[in-house]
Amino acid sequence: MPEPTVPPTPPVPLSALLAREDLGLRQIAGPTDADTVIHWAHTSEMADPYPYLLGGELLLTAGVHIPEAAGSGTYFDDYVSRIVAAGGAALGFGLVPVHETVPRALVAACDAYGLPLVEVPPRTTFSGVARAVWQLMAQARHAELRRVTQAQQSLAAAASRPDPVRAVLRQLAQRVDGWAVLYGPEGAVVAATGRGPREAVGGSLAELAEVVRPSGPGTPASATDTASGIHLAAYALGAEQGFVLGVAAPRRDPGDHTIASVAAVLLSLLTGEQQSGSGAARSSALVRLLLGAEPQAVAPLLGADRWLVVHGRPDSQPCDPVAASALGAALGSPLVDLARDVVRVLVPADREPSPLPGWTLGVSDPAAPPDWPTADARAARALARARATRTPLFRHGAHRPALADLLSPDEAQAHARALLAPLTAPLAETLRTWLSLHGSWDRTAVALAVHRNTVRQRIARCAALLGTDLDDPDVRMELWFALRYIER
């Protein structure tokens, strides 16, 4: 059986649901394990609910599906075993109007298969139970976000103290109630703090650190394991530094990974600037640019000839310096620029970005330093398209030979400028986005962050200024070619 798919929301302990006096729920069979959790509530009267379960449910039923002779056969054993096989967390049985009591054979089957069985009294509706699950889940989510926010603030404050590396480690160990250790490039312990059975799991944590230590393409950025009942995690600090953060804790709460990731970003910045010459090289490149040097002249100081521009926008979290640094670390580049609602990252072309949870990304095609402004504009358009089409990452298409290449570039650009001359820059950008999204008003509005009626008005204005029919596919094709040549 594959692992059940559960949502990325905090689960609800079954005990918390049973403690709600307004529901009057009562567990009558199965293990009374405090660790039993529910990810959602689902109602079904199917005799075999297996195909409709995703795992982690409190399955609610009134027993409509139970045949009259079910108690004398294997019906209940088959029914409960299928729920368990699907990953169901618990079964809630509603009394009245179908059944006055919970069938004894069902109680026995739940005890036999280890499935918690909850009696739902007549006064409690299934929708009320589902609403209680979501309320408890929202409370848990709020508590988790508050805990993560407080941890981010305390870690950022620790990074500004004397001896910041040890201060960040100490704060991390306190937040996860465990042990935090920093391994050097050769695997030696640079610093360690916190409490925990170091002797029992120290060797296992060191081995896990070697798994994420950069050794070439495909090396994971993080890894987890368990040893002697202790949860272990390791995080590589950057793609080149060789430092690794290790964390050991007696339990793994939902927000622990986020908290440890923030600590890893801070430690990556602290160790990277001190242990390599990359920070000095970046500073030298910036000074030379400010003093008038051309981008191609300073590019060798940054370590690559061709680059990708990545525009990232967080899906939910605020676009703050911590989030920006985390994105840069995930993409393997310290060259990060934080704007009001977007983060721009300059990434070496050999580090191909992948979709990142919690982010929507737009990626340019590889560009040499003189073409960085064009790549920046293309990354912005790629991000707009990714948001409009609800895809986590969209890449600006690499240029391939096409019919348009048969034209003289100079003549084509002259024709494009003449054709599009009546349009202002906002109108031309709206037309470009609208054509790229196949004339979708809604997606264009999302991409440009304007109302759909504004899009309609701008496109109508374009048609009027150009004196053409934008419903004609030949016209659309010619305008698209023209917009592409203007871009060049």
pLDDT digits (tens, 9 = 90+) for 109-163: 999 999 999 999 999 999 999 999 999 998 988 888 888 889 988 998 888 787 7
pLDDT digits (tens, 9 = 90+) for 28-56: 999 998 889 999 999 999 999 999 998 89
Pairing of strands 222-227, 189-194: unpaired
Query: Using CA atoms, how far apart are residues 290 and 443, in angstroms rounded to an integer?
Result: 39
pLDDT at 338: 84
- Sequence ranges of the domains in the chain: 12-136, 160-275, 300-395, 403-487
Instruction: Identify the band that residue 299 occupies on the pLDDT scale cut at 50, 70 and 90.
Output: confident
Contact between 116 and 83 (Cβ < 8 Å): no
Query: Using CA atoms, how far apart are residues 128 and 133, in angstroms rounded to an integer?
Result: 9
* Residue given tokens 């590396």 in the structure block: 165
Contact between 245 and 264 (Cβ < 8 Å): yes
In terms of Cβ atoms closer than 10 Å to its own Cβ (0-12, 13-18, 19+), residue 186 is exposed
H/E stretch holding 119 reads strand 117-120
Residue (of 449, 124, 140, 478) closest to 313 by Cα position:
449
| pLDDT value at 277 more than 80 | no
Which range of 107-121, 264-278, 422-436 scores highest in mean pLDDT? It is 107-121
Query: Using CA atoms, how far apart are residues 290 and 286, in angstroms rounded to an integer?
Result: 6
Strand ranges of the sheet holding 336-338, from the earlier edge strand across to the other edge? 336-338, 343-348, 307-314, 359-363, 393-395
pLDDT digits (tens, 9 = 90+) for 210-241: 998 877 667 788 899 998 889 999 999 866 66
Q: Hey, is 295 helix, strand or coil?
A: helix
pLDDT at 4: 46
Contact between 55 and 155 (Cβ < 8 Å): no
- The answer to which of 367-376, 449-458, 460-469, 479-488 has the lowest mean pLDDT is 479-488
pLDDT digits (tens, 9 = 90+) for 333-387: 778 888 778 889 988 888 788 888 778 999 999 988 888 888 998 899 889 888 8
pLDDT at 232: 92
| pLDDT value at 303 more than 80 | no
Instruction: Identify the band that residue 482 occupies on the pLDDT scale cut at 50, 70 and 90.
Output: confident
Distances in Å between the alpha carbon of 142 and those of 138, 139, 147, 150, 319? 6, 5, 9, 12, 19
On whether the 12-136 domain is CATH 2.40.50.140, my answer is: no
Query: Using CA atoms, how far apart are residues 259 and 151, in angstroms rounded to an integer?
Result: 6
Give the fold, CATH level 3, of 403-487. Arc Repressor Mutant, subunit A (1.10.10)
Q: CB within 8 A of 135, min separation 6: which ones?
A: none
In the 3-class helix/strand/coil scheme, how is 337-354 assigned residue by residue? EECCCCEEEEEECCCCCC
Q: What is the dotted CATH code of the domain comprising 160-275?
A: 3.30.450.30
pLDDT digits (tens, 9 = 90+) for 395-429: 987 444 455 555 666 777 788 888 888 998 889 98
Torsion of CA 226, 266, 395, 419, to 10 degrees: 160
Instruction: Identify the band that residue 1 occupies on the pLDDT scale cut at 50, 70 and 90.
Output: very low
End-to-end Cα spacing for the chain: 53
How confident is the model over 43-70, as a mean pLDDT? 93
pLDDT at 404: 55
**Beta pairing partners, 313:** 360
Query: Using CA atoms, how far apart are residues 123 and 264, in angstroms rounded to an integer?
Result: 51
Contact between 23 and 125 (Cβ < 8 Å): no
- Whole-prediction pTM value? 0.51
Contact between 235 and 244 (Cβ < 8 Å): yes
